[in-house]
Amino acid sequence: MRRALPLLFALAACHGAPAPAAGEKVIGLVTDVGGRGDQSFNDGALRGLEAWACGLRYGAAGYRPLAPADILALVPEDLRARVGQPAPVAGLLPYVLQARAAEDYRPDLERLAARKVALAIGVGFMLEDAVAAEARAHPAQRYLLIDSPILDGAGRPVTLPNVASVTFREQEGSYLAGALAGLSTKSGKVAFLGGMQVPLIQRFEAGFRAGLQATNPAAAARLTVQYTGSFDDSSAGKRVAQSLFGGGVDVLFQAAGADGLGAIEAAQEAGRFVIGVDSDQAHLAPGSVLTSMVKHVDYAVYLAVRDAAAGRFTAGNRELGLAEGGVGLAPVRVDFPGKADALARVEALRQAIVAGRIAVPARP
């Protein structure tokens, strides 16, 4: 029987955590500043580690075991054929640290190295410098970096022997989101709301614009693009989204982390459509979330943790797109005129991208 895990083990913030029992392995994870509960990127990574790989759910009382049916329910529909029933690894325990600011990244990763975890995971491109520095300082510790390769001083990808990284072709899933936006807009006014204006988020913008152009060139010509400048300020996302909806936008795609939660709230209040990001966000505003551009961080983390638990590790970067199950669209649970034809059109575009007949741009 799985032993009960106290809350202290889950937080592990200031007072340490109990040592694993004989035969148990610990996987460490440091979130970015969006943290647990962002309903998006960080929660996706936590789902892959805690639920899929460890078979656990985190709550106010700490970790509790999940039944197989509950684990399966957490697998996105577009991944079920690929993943099947996730099989938690016996004796695997999560050790999660939530960074409150960028200054926390290295100290938190240092804690993981001190515990000699089987794998130390840094969630988000903002941890790239910290992971690189810690990996060089602790060559025996293995790391997984999500959303960025390790970069040299000139910004070129390099390989460290103890670091694996996973990046995504976000532009491919965003292309499908843009195509659907173009087929569902009534006003012809569509918007993209990003968090920080960095190359990663610009891939979302570029793909979305290209997909919109494919199905509604007039709307693409009028596309409004705005950035909040952060990923952890839902009030900023709501303010910008309210302004966009007030200007007649009726479909908005947000790629803004926790800022996007505010945009979803604004869409629900305005009676407009919003497209979620990273995780399926339909439950946050039923009837208002058109779909979500899902980035399967859960899948990437699950694969890496499963390999680490088995003693397998491959350094270097792995890139995941539509063909590899790295990105996709969540089910469309709302109705709009011509929905069936629109979904068929989007599916045809998805198949064309997977087959290589459409090359989606990665820059605006």
Judge whether residue 17 has pLDDT over 70: no
Between helix 170-184 and helix 339-354 the angle, nearest 10°, is: 160
Q: Is pLDDT at 230 greater than 90 in this prediction? A: yes
- The pLDDT-based confidence of 9 (bands split at 50, 70, 90) is very low
Domains of the chain (ranges, CATH numbers) = 7-168+297-320 (3.40.50.2300), 170-294+334-354 (3.40.50.2300)
The yes-or-no verdict on residue 5 having pLDDT over 50 is no
Residue 1's SS3 state is coil
Does residue 211 register a pLDDT over 90?
A: yes
Q: Is the pLDDT of residue 14 over 70?
A: no
**Count of CA atoms in the C-beta half-sphere (13 A) of 186:** 11
pLDDT > 60? residue 6: no
Q: Report whether pLDDT(364) > 90.
A: no
Q: In whole angstroms, how far apart are CA 255 and each of 70, 118, 196, 202, 338?
A: 28, 32, 9, 9, 26
pLDDT of 1 above 50: no
Do residues 253 and 275 make contact, with C-beta atoms less than 8 angstroms apart?
yes
Residue entry with tokens 């966000």? 281
pLDDT 10s digits, 300-332: 999 999 999 999 999 999 999 999 999 999 999
pLDDT of residue 94: 96
**Looking at residue 8, what is its pLDDT?**
35
pLDDT value for 43: 94
Supply the pLDDT for residue 19: 62
* % of the chain with per-residue pLDDT over 90: 87
Mean pLDDT, rounded, for 234-255? 98
Dump pLDDT digits (tens) for 28-84. Answer: 999 998 889 888 899 999 999 999 999 999 999 899 999 999 999 999 888 999 999
How high is the pLDDT of residue 298?
96
